[in-house]
Structure 1
């Protein structure tokens, strides 16, 4: 018997054994809203990564599969294949790690998370980072007040084709100014670009199913921070803003949310960018400049310090063109929306997964 044939028979035996050990999925199939999308994240405050997402939704349950890949070789450790299953009927959430084949079981309020930023900090404390580090006013020890808060939605009239569907563009600009005690201001500009289309029958069906899920989730997620912060109307308005549900209730759109009602159609693509011009809290942001020349390292050191100060000033001039570089840029583009027949097992913990934590 040749080596190739022996290997083939061995491989076949292993495959058959694996199939025999995994039970046949006899769970029924039921109508399910299915959405597929691609996403990317980058910017001065974020490592570059991209991913794919699939969302399965029924009236009392939802599963989100997310596969994320980082651009940097040094960040490959953070690549992930994860799924989140929310079962309102069981009042449970399961967080699946598909690489490790384990899961966490949590209440409807969700698991206590160690954020990705915290993970990045732990990994990179001893490494040089390319991205800048964001500091809150509280962390800087700087007291500020909200000086202005402007929100505007504009239908641009531009059109393009996304996934074979005609789409129309809307832009959203949210501009805030925070002033320190000296009157210096930080200007934050959050820009959204929406491309929306006339909803198809599948999209309308998805909206209805998603609304049923969001309403059932809202009733059970007692400690959800968005629920407690916004209330039901605000929460559902935010869900509509993201395209998860249809805008149906005018009462949801109060204050700045009222402007969002100008956006018509089903969002196929959402782009978010955050820009900042930082003039406030300069003393707290960076160490105070030393007066005169620092001669502690001799004349050569002083000369190098002067060159460094010059280059720093040039950098400040470049950064002043603040609208050119986004602190955070996020793009989410829908590639598929349909009502499909999906096995009930999709909303259960997969066979063979090990419980890693219960909260």
Structure 2
């Protein structure tokens, strides 16, 4: 230990010590104790709740396993803040942790302050287990970027939990029930394939970045970018699209959007790419007239105050009015303005 300047030896996954093999755990514990006594090296053993037999067995095993003490680290509880008589506020562990984690977002429309309804659903779906709290937060952000919603909402957290954390549903439901017999069935919480999910979402975001990089060739020209995106939405994407759009906008600076669309389509007809040939679209001009129309499938990308966005956030079994009344300040309540009768 002196040669390698080791100050502390940490042994993780200690729960894998077999209790079935004759003397397996006892022999290993004796080895650790001998190690400490021989080289004077402190040892910290870390494991899941399955390792409790090491610390709570017979006196001899517990003494060897615990040494100077053991800590059983449970999930966070959903406690409220403590408000003292002088008005000073002491945040609970859950509120403090989530407030600080909330700052680490890369979303364009992220709320500065964590909304209470989001915090409550976050706890309900994670039950305060740190690993799940963080994984749900990361996956929700990736989903928010991929879908274009660009903010974390109650509905997004629920969708992320339903789709990406399905393997742990039985464990979370056991914790939600509060029944010790059900909780005892799951001494470990493992999220299979979580890394695969993260890689898949990151791959999709990388594809989107590639599309953005292609559009960035227009050097911020909003007209060119709008033309490009409309043509892609119409199924007219091709390797010649970027140079064709740039040429049209450069050579015809006074042309209107419909005129440019028509000209670009006409020019593109003459260029064959592989076996495909861009054909003329007689409805091109009609479509451009609707360029400001946002399809319902894209309403979730609008600002939070937009009623179309709010419509996408309501629960299936709730009316739109109920959602607006319970989750927003957009409904005028006349009772707030009527004089109170004593």
Q: Which has the higher contact order (CA 8 A, sep 6+)?
A: 1
The structure in which a higher percent of residues are helix is: 2
The structure in which a higher percent of residues are strand is: 1
Shorter chain as denominator, the TM-score bin is under 0.3
| Structure 1 length-normalised TM | 0.20
